[in-house]
Structures are given as structure tokens and as C-alpha cells.
């Protein structure tokens, strides 16, 4: 039995881990003439730390809830430092006791890197893969060297990332961004009926993040922004997306005296698709909102000390990935001292009532997403059709990654397959380069 130890600390990483597990359970990426092709499914066991997506992939129970390590910020993490240290110790001990053949860590570098560093000292021969390259292009380029000392292979989500790591001797593969394997809802009218949205209502989607601290830090200014919009748009309906159903209890106390209509939804992709405009916390959610064809603004703030530390370290002008890649502000950003209700509400109203502005943002965002391999039919639209009551189902749908990237993986998968997506490619590499030698050996012993 070959055992893989997974660690994912956030919802986005949990999604990636779950998808990879699904492909690993199948014969994905194993050549049809391989002597192990019929043996893989019964020969791999998954253990480790993850969430609902990894558990739904089958035969996986997390060592502890990932909410325990879903923390961010320099100062924000301090009250939890001793708890995190205990969880790191617990995870390292579990990896050793599990006798895993392969360790796969996904994002959450504050936790996963510390675990991997400890494990590398204790188990120097254990193969290790990290998924989601640290943003060395944004700050701390020296981290590439640190990762090269610990990991055997790194899977990058962005096409420009591998050179930062290969030049310091770390095998880095570009697999593409997970957004390419999500399907986005296509029937806006049906979604409006599902959410019971009246014909004359305008919909604002609000996404606050997956961490309790982030939610509490942004709620007051977000609610104040919405109240400002409601003064001039009394047909506004607000949908709060929930990364976790338990977050509803955190948000509700801030809504006791509001006049606008609101509801909660855990189906974030449906919410993004049905919305006329979105108010988003910075993160992966911004790519999903853009892929859904919804204009947005991004607002974000951290503890003041954390902010000044970040300012000293960071080398980029923007926080939103679309803006970073474009090297210009396509999506309006209101960061730290600019994260104010009057500024946010003014820009949201501009997107709500100016269809040309909204359309321009969506089209520019889609062009950037195409650079990541995302396929969209939204470029066929025009600004006149970009209104919620006329916009009839021409939403984006992800299909497959670009052929040029597949050739980089030595034809591990066929470029004409719809499942040639990041998790498919990751699973193919893991199977052929990390699992196949072990499984062959096990089969020979049998």
C-alpha cells in the first residue's frame, strides 16, 4: 500500500487536494500500457489534513479541522501562536507515524512550510511536493532558495513562476490555475428565479473571506458601504456568500438595524453569477467573480502593524491577481486607509448604474484570465447587452488548458481531452514520477 499525506489549510487548497485525490483514485495520467494501470486504484491511501472536498473524494479523515490553521497576518496570528505550534507538532508526529511515501502540501505556507521543514530533518528521504508556489515575485525572492532545500518538486499555478525556482535548483512545473476546471453557471435568468429576485431588483454580492478575523475586520465598513448605496438604490438585494455556514452567526449581529434586503448563500459560484456587481475581499474569490462575468471592487485591510511590515516587504503595486498580471488597475482596489465606506459605495454605484464601465471591466478581466488558460465566450458580448435583464445566459465555461502547456509535461496527458486541467496534470505527474516506481516494486513483491 502506497500512502500519500496531504496537508491543505484553506478552502481553495482543500478544493485542489480533493480534485487531485479524485484523479489519483482513477487511472488518470497512467499510460494505458503501464503494468500498474489496473493496480493504482487499490494501491493508494490518503491521510492528512484537509476539508470537505478532500473528505468527499473518499477514504479521508482530517487529523483536525482546517479552520484551526486558517489564519493570516503578522500580528493577527500572534494570539494563536502556541496553538499553531501544537498543531505543527501534532502534524509532524502524525506524518512520521503514518509512514507516508509522499508528502503533498497545498498553499498555506505559514503552516505547511514549517511542517515540511521539520519533516525534512526527521525524514530526509521522504519525497515532498508543494502545490501553489509562494509569491516570490511579489516579495521575499529568497524564499525560493528555502523551498529548494526542502521540496523535491513544486507545482506552480501561474505561467511566469517556474523560472524563479528552477534557477535555484528546484524542479518547478506549471500546472495552471484551478479556476480552469470550474464550471460557471450559465443561466442568469434561472438563477434569479432560484434566488427569488424580482425583475426590478439589483443584486450586490458580498464576499468576506473564510477566516473569522477577516470577516469581523471588514463587516462594519462593508455594511456601511451598502447602506450608502441603498440610499440611492432602494431596490437593492444583497447576498452574503458564506465560506462556512457558521459564518452567518458572525455576520447577523451587524445587520440588525439595516434597511436593505439581504440573504445568505453557501453556493458562491451561483451567487457570483446572479449578481450585478460584487464587493469582494482580496483573494482567489476575485478570479471566480471575474470568471463569472461580474464586475467588482476589491477592499481589504489588515492590522496596522501587519500593514506596515507588508509595505516594507512587498514589491508590487496591486493585491488583486488580475491587476498584478495586467500591471494596471482593471479592478478598483480600496486597501487599508482607502478601505472606507464613502469610497467603496461611490465606485460600486458607478458599476451598478454605468453599464459601459461594468462591461469594460469584465472584458479586460476576461482577457487576463485567458492568459491563464481560461476559455470564455463573454468577449462576444457588447456593452449594450450588459444589463442584468438582458444578459441571457452567456456566462463563461471552463474547458481545457492550453496545448502549449501540456507539451511541457512530456505528453503526460492528451491536449484534446476536456479533463486536461491542473488537477489532472498534477495527478499525472504524481503517478508517473512519484508513485509508479513504488507501485511497481510492490507489484513485483506480490
CATH number at residue 94: 3.40.50.2000
Based on the fold, state whether residues 242 and 165 are members of the same structural domain: no
Whether 349 is in a domain gets the answer: yes
Whether 390 is in a domain gets the answer: no
Q: What is the spatial order of strands in the sheet that 2-8 belongs to?
A: 44-49, 2-8, 102-106, 127-131, 153-156, 171-174
Pick the closest to residue 413 from 84, 56, 76, 175 (CA basis).
175
Whether 393 is in a domain gets the answer: no
Helix ranges (DSSP H) in 314-402? 321-326, 341-353, 355-371
Based on the fold, state whether residues 207 and 80 are members of the same structural domain: no
| Cβ-proximal residues to 107 (8 Å cutoff; 6+ apart), any chain | 8, 9, 10, 12, 13, 16, 131, 132
The β-bridge partners of 171 are 153
Based on the fold, state whether residues 30 and 120 are members of the same structural domain: yes
Please report how the helices 109-122 and 81-98 are oriented relative to each other, as an axis angle in degrees rounded to 10. Answer: 40
Contact in structure between 122 and 18 (CB atoms under 8 Å): no
Based on the fold, state whether residues 128 and 65 are members of the same structural domain: yes
Q: What is the pLDDT along the chain (446 residues), one digit of tens a residue?
A: 789 999 999 888 999 999 999 998 875 444 434 444 444 555 689 999 999 999 998 789 999 999 878 665 554 566 667 888 999 999 999 999 999 999 999 999 889 999 999 999 999 999 999 999 998 887 777 899 999 999 999 999 998 899 999 999 999 999 999 888 888 887 888 999 999 999 899 999 999 887 887 888 889 999 999 999 999 999 999 999 998 898 999 999 999 999 999 999 999 999 999 999 999 988 889 999 999 999 999 998 877 776 666 666 677 788 899 999 999 999 999 988 899 999 999 999 999 999 899 999 999 999 999 888 777 655 444 444 454 444 333 333 332 333 333 333 333 333 334 456 899 999 999 998 988 877 666 666 66
Whether 391 is in a domain gets the answer: no
Whether 395 is in a domain gets the answer: no
**Residue 208's domain spans which residues?**
188-385
Report DSSP state, residue 435.
Answer: I
Based on the fold, state whether residues 127 and 203 are members of the same structural domain: no
Based on the fold, state whether residues 127 and 10 are members of the same structural domain: yes
Whether 394 is in a domain gets the answer: no
Distance CA 72, CA 159 (A): 25
Whether 171 is in a domain gets the answer: yes
Based on the fold, state whether residues 267 and 359 are members of the same structural domain: yes
pTM of the model: 0.78
Domain count for the chain: 2
Q: Reduced to 3 states, what is the DSSP secondary structure of residue 229? A: helix
Please provide the size of the chain in residues.
Answer: 446
Based on the fold, state whether residues 138 and 240 are members of the same structural domain: no
Pick the closest to residue 80 from 72, 94, 281 (CA basis).
72
Whether 396 is in a domain gets the answer: no
Based on the fold, state whether residues 97 and 162 are members of the same structural domain: yes
Based on the fold, state whether residues 63 and 83 are members of the same structural domain: yes
Q: What is the spatial order of strands in the sheet that 277-281 belongs to?
A: 261-265, 236-241, 202-207, 277-281, 296-300, 333-335
Based on the fold, state whether residues 173 and 193 are members of the same structural domain: no
Based on the fold, state whether residues 223 and 353 are members of the same structural domain: yes
Amino acid at each position: 500500500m502506497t500512502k500519500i499525506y496531504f496537508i491543505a489549510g484553506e478552502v481553495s487548497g482543500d478544493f485542489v487536494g480533493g480534485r487531485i485525490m479524485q484523479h489519483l483514485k482513477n487511472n488518470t495520467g497512467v499510460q494505458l500500457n503501464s503494468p500498474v494501470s489496473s493496480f493504482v486504484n487499490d494501491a493508494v491511501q490518503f491521510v492528512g489534513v484537509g476539508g470537505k472536498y478532500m473528505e468527499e473524494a473518499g477514504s479521508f479523515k482530517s487529523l483536525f479541522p482546517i479552520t484551526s490553521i486558517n489564519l493570516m497576518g503578522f500580528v493577527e496570528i500572534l494570539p494563536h501562536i502556541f496553538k499553531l505550534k501544537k498543531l505543527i507538532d501534532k502534524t509532524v508526529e502524525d506524518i512520521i507515524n503514518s509512514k507516508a511515501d509522499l508528502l503533498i502540501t497545498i498553499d498555506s505556507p505559514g503552516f505547511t512550510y514549517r511542517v515540511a521543514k521539520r519533516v525534512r530533518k526527521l525524514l530526509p528521504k521522504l519525497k515532498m511536493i508543494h502545490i501553489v508556489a509562494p509569491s516570490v515575485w511579489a516579495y521575499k525572492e529568497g524564499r525560493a532558495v528555502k523551498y529548494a532545500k526542502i521540496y523535491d518538486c513544486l507545482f506552480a499555478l501561474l505561467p511566469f513562476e517556474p523560472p524563479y525556482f528552477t534557477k535555484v535548483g528546484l524542479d518547478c512545473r506549471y500546472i495552471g490555475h484551478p479556476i480552469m476546471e470550474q464550471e460557471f453557471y450559465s443561466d442568469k435568468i434561472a438563477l434569479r428565479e432560484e434566488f427569488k429576485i424580482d425583475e426590478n431588483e439589483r443584486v450586490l454580492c458580498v464576499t468576506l473571506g473564510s477566516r473569522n478575523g477577516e470577516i469581523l475586520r471588514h463587516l462594519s465598513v462593508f455594511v456601511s458601504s451598502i447602506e450608502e448605496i441603498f440610499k440611492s438604490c432602494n431596490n437593492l438585494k444583497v447576498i452574503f456568500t458564506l465560506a462556512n455556514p457558521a459564518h452567518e452567526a458572525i455576520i447577523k449581529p451587524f445587520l440588525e438595524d439595516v434597511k436593505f434586503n439581504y440573504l445568505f448563500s453557501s453556493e458562491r459560484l451561483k451567487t457570483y453569477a446572479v449578481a450585478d456587481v460584487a464587493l469582494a475581499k482580496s483573494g482567489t474569490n476575485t478570479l471566480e467573480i471575474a470568471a463569472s462575468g461580474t464586475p467588482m471592487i476589491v477592499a481589504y485591510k489588515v492590522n496596522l502593524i501587519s500593514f506596515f511590515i507588508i509595505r516594507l516587504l512587498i514589491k508590487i503595486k496591486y493585491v488583486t491577481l488580475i491587476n498584478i498580471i495586467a500591471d494596471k488597475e482593471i479592478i478598483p482596489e480600496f486597501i487599508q486607509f482607502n478601505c472606507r465606506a464613502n469610497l467603496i459605495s461611490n465606485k460600486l454605484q458607478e458599476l451598478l448604474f454605468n453599464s459601459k464601465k461594468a462591461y469594460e471591466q469584465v472584458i479586460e478581466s476576461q482577457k487576463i484570465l485567458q492568459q491563464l488558460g481560461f476559455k470564455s465566450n463573454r468577449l462576444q458580448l457588447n456593452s449594450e447587452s450588459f444589463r442584468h435583464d438582458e444578459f441571457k445566459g452567456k456566462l463563461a465555461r471552463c474547458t481545457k488548458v492550453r496545448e502549449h502547456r501540456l507539451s511541457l509535461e512530456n505528453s503526460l496527458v492528451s491536449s484534446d481531452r476536456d479533463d486536461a486541467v491542473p488537477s489532472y496534470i498534477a495527478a499525472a505527474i504524481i503517478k508517473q514520477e512519484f508513485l509508479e516506481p513504488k507501485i511497481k516494486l510492490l507489484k513485483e513483491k506480490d
